Structure formats: C-alpha cells, structure tokens
C-alpha cells in the first residue's frame, strides 16, 4: 500500500508526533510505502522516520528538503490546508491518514481515490480553552473535523463515543521497549520526583510543583523535582532542576533517574498519557490522576487539583518499598499491550479491511 500522511504544522517534540513517526517506520518495515507532505517552512522530523517527506511551498510545488527562510503562507494554516488539498488531488495512494483537525478537511474534500482515515489522539476542543479569537476558531474547527464523515480511529477506548467523536476503531499509541526499559537505578540518597513541565492549565503541572514545595519544606535538600521540558519560569524554584532530553534515549535516561513520576493532568483521564506508559516501561513508580493503563493495582491514583493527595502518595511510596515494587512490576506487565509493532499492525488491519 501507499500511505500518505499530510501535515499542517511541524514535526514537533510532542508524543503524538513520535507515535506517527513510529507507525510509519513499522509500516515501511512491513513492505508499505509511507509519504509525509509538510510545508516547506516546517523543520524536519524531530523523531526519526524512514518515511519520505515532501515539502511544499505556497504554490504547491514539491521539494526534497525544508527551507526555514521561505515566506510564510499569507493565510497561515488555512492557506496551507488549501494547498494540501490541491496536492492530494494530484496524488495516488491506497490510504490517506489525517492526524490533526487541520488536516481532516483537505483529506475529506480532496478528490484522491483512496481510503480516508482520521487518527484521533485526543479530543482537541478541550485544549483550546482560552477565550481569545484564535482559540475559539480552532476549537470549532476541531469540533467540525469529527463530523466530516472520515473513518475515525481513536487512540483509546474512551474516545469511541466521546462528545463529538463517534468511532468503532481504536489503536493505542506505541512504546519502543528497546529504548524505554528498566535500567540500573543510581542511589545517591536523593528522592528525585519527576514530571513534564508544560504549563498549559490542563496539564496540572502547578499542582505537582505545589506538592513539591510542601515536601521540600519537610524533607529539605533530600528531595528534588526534576522537570523535563520545563518552562524557564521554574528555573529559580528552590530544589527544581530543569531537564531537556534530546531524543528518546535521553528521555528514557531521565525516567530511569527518577524515584517516582508524577502526572497531574486534569482532562480526558481515561486516555493514554505518554509519560505514564513510558515511566511504567522503565519500572518507575507512577502517581497519576488517571490515564491508561493506571489502576489501583499498578500506580498511585490521586484526585485532580489535589496537592495534599500527591504529597501523601509520595510518602506512601517511600514508606512501603515492598508494596511499591509490587505495583511497579504489575505496571510493567500492563504496559506491554502498547508495544509498537503490535499497534502498527492493528492499524494496518483497519486499512486493509
């Protein structure tokens, strides 16, 4: 099969881009051709991919490499959508896969003779929570994208019938267990807490930081908070260390350096959160407000927006190492269902059905 994946934005550092890159790699290993189309001003893939990427300029002309100094599209992502549709009209493929609300429309309305799918990795409208014009416009675009009639594949069972999303297919995001795996833990007498440091309100990072402040007051320099991809506004916080992993191997090293990982997310709690499954794959205790495959048997669950509960779970893990190890081992078994090759094959079966 020839599979086309059109893009509006860049190949960023977010976990969703890794999922798409890894899916493409496994489909190519299975003998299929995978092609990305991305705007010429976007950068190349952050996560390595074996797929060919064509970069298109504002007129739709294709190039083999990106050009960061190329003029922006006058209409921004809306102009890029229009160009993508024109490109798809002149392409041949067996499958075209939309992966974002902004690519759903050109996939739907292009005249290409191919099966058209839409891989939904989150309910996007909830992420456009601000009240400015841009957020309201994008929120409506994302809502509309679920009603275009594309064949929707979601990345967790919760989205099969979630608000505007109606689907009958799901494919988990994958984990590369050759990279995210347990390593020997260094013992330096420190209690190293970890979290991902994006500051969007729905990430709940502020509650993790508040819990750490309380722990720092009680435990002193014995406890530290290492924040991956943390915002610079946190760099002067007492006991906080900002970490910027370069690639997956350094990200796995980051997880393996932790005493425990804390996820404070506030929304879509039955979805998959990449740091949760990656930490579990590295056999790191996980405190979380939810997210698959967390349960009371494999993690320490807390209510949202509850600083005191996070603090209490940290002490619970520290005080009962035997119980903690039992949960960690159960989590390691439960996370095996996210193996990359397995999920890639499942999506291929949907394409070929």
Give the chain's domains with CATH numbers: 2-170 (3.40.50.2000), 191-338 (3.40.50.2000)
210: enclosing H helix or E strand: helix 205-219
| Token digits of residue 348 | 């291929």
Give the pLDDT score at 186: 76
Mean pLDDT of 279-305: 98
Q: Is the pLDDT of residue 11 over 70?
A: no
Quick check: 284 and 278 in contact, CB under 8 A? no
Q: Is the pLDDT of residue 129 over 90?
A: no
Give the pLDDT score at 12: 66
Give the pLDDT score at 135: 93
Q: Tally Cβ neighbours within 10 Å of residue 218.
A: 10
- 224 CB-near residues (< 8 Å, 6+ apart): 190, 191, 192, 193, 239, 240, 241
Question: How far from the centroid of its chain's Cα atoms is residue 4's Cα?
Answer: 21
Q: Of 42 and 171, which is predicted with more confidence?
A: 171
Give the pLDDT score at 352: 94
Give the C-alpha distances (Å, rounded to integers) separating 90 from 3, 77, 86: 14, 20, 7
- 150 CB-near residues (< 8 Å, 6+ apart): 98, 104, 107, 108, 116, 117, 118
Q: How confident is the model at residue 69 (pLDDT cuts 50, 70, 90)?
A: confident
Give the pLDDT score at 214: 98
Q: Is the pLDDT of residue 33 over 90?
A: yes
For the chain, what percent of residues have pLDDT higher than 90? 81
Give the pLDDT score at 255: 97
Q: How confident is the model at residue 197 (pLDDT cuts 50, 70, 90)?
A: confident
Give the pLDDT score at 109: 98
Q: Is the pLDDT of residue 4 over 90?
A: yes
Give the C-alpha distances (Å, rounded to integers) separating 317 from 182, 279, 310, 331, 335: 18, 15, 11, 15, 20
pTM exceeds 0.75, yes or no: yes
DSSP 168: S
Mean pLDDT of 235-244: 92
């Amino acid at each position: 099969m020839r599979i086309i994946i059109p893009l509006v934005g860049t190949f960023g550092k977010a976990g969703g881009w890794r999922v798409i890159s890894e899916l493409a790699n496994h489909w190519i290993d299975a003998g299929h051709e995978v092609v990305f189309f991305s705007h010429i001003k976007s950068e190349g893939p952050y996560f390595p991919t074996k797929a060919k990427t064509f970069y298109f300029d504002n007129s739709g002309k294709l190039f083999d490499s990106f050009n960061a100094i190329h003029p922006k599209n006058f209409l921004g992502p809306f102009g890029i959508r229009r160009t993508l549709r024109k490109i798809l009209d002149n392409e041949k493929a067996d499958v075209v896969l939309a992966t974002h609300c902004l690519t759903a429309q050109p996939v739907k309305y292009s005249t290409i003779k191919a099966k058209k799918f839409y891989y939904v990795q989150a309910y996007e409208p909830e992420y456009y929570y601000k009240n400015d014009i841009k957020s309201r416009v994008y929120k409506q675009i994302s809502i509309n994208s679920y009603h275009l009639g594309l064949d929707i594949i979601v990345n967790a069972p919760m989205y099969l019938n979630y608000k505007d999303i109606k689907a009958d297919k799901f494919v988990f995001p994958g984990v590369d267990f050759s990279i995210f795996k347990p390593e020997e833990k260094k013992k330096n007498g420190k209690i190293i807490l970890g979290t991902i440091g994006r500051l969007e309100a729905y990430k709940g990072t502020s509650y993790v930081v508040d819990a750490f402040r309380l722990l720092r007051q009680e435990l002193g320099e014995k406890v530290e908070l290492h924040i991956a991809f943390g915002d610079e506004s946190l760099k002067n916080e007492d006991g906080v260390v900002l970490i910027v992993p370069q690639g997956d191997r350094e990200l796995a090293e980051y997880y393996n350096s932790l005493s425990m990982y804390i996820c404070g997310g506030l929304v879509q709690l039955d979805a998959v959160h990449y740091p949760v499954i990656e930490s579990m794959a590295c056999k790191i205790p996980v405190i979380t407000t939810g997210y698959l495959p967390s349960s009371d048997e494999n993690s320490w669950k807390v209510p949202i927006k509850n600083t005191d509960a996070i603090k209490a779970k940290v002490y619970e893990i520290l005080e009962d190492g035997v119980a903690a190890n039992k949960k960690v081992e159960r989590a390691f078994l439960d996370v095996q269902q996210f193996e990359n090759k397995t999920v890639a094959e499942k999506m291929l079966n949907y394409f070929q059905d």
